Amino acid sequence: MNNDLEKCIDCLERDALKHTDLCAECIRKKFHEMIPYFEKIRPRDAESTSAAPKPQDAA
């Protein structure tokens, strides 16, 4: 982990954040690259993709 003011290991341009080896911009880019993976393993609307039938309200 990075404890000193060092350059980002990804872009080598900006200062890395305190407890990581990456700068904020590179962390943001990596997070956005992972969004399709997150949605694949856990869709936003989990109820519509559920295989189990929905319980019917006895109204």
Per-residue tens of pLDDT for the chain, all 59 residues: 544 569 999 999 999 999 999 999 999 999 999 999 988 888 766 555 555 555 666 55
Residue 31 falls within a domain, yes or no? yes
Instruction: With respect to residue 57, please indicate whether it lies within any of the assigned structural domains.
Output: no
What's the pLDDT at 13?
A: 94
pLDDT at 10: 94
In a domain, 55, yes or no: no
The number of folded domains in the chain is 1
pLDDT of residue 59: 55
Domain that includes residue 27, residue range: 1-44
Give CA–CA dist 28/52, Å, rounded. 36
In the chain, the N- to C-terminal Cα span, in Å, equals 58
pLDDT for residue 43: 73
Please give the pLDDT value at position 33. 95
Does the residue 27 lie in any domain? yes
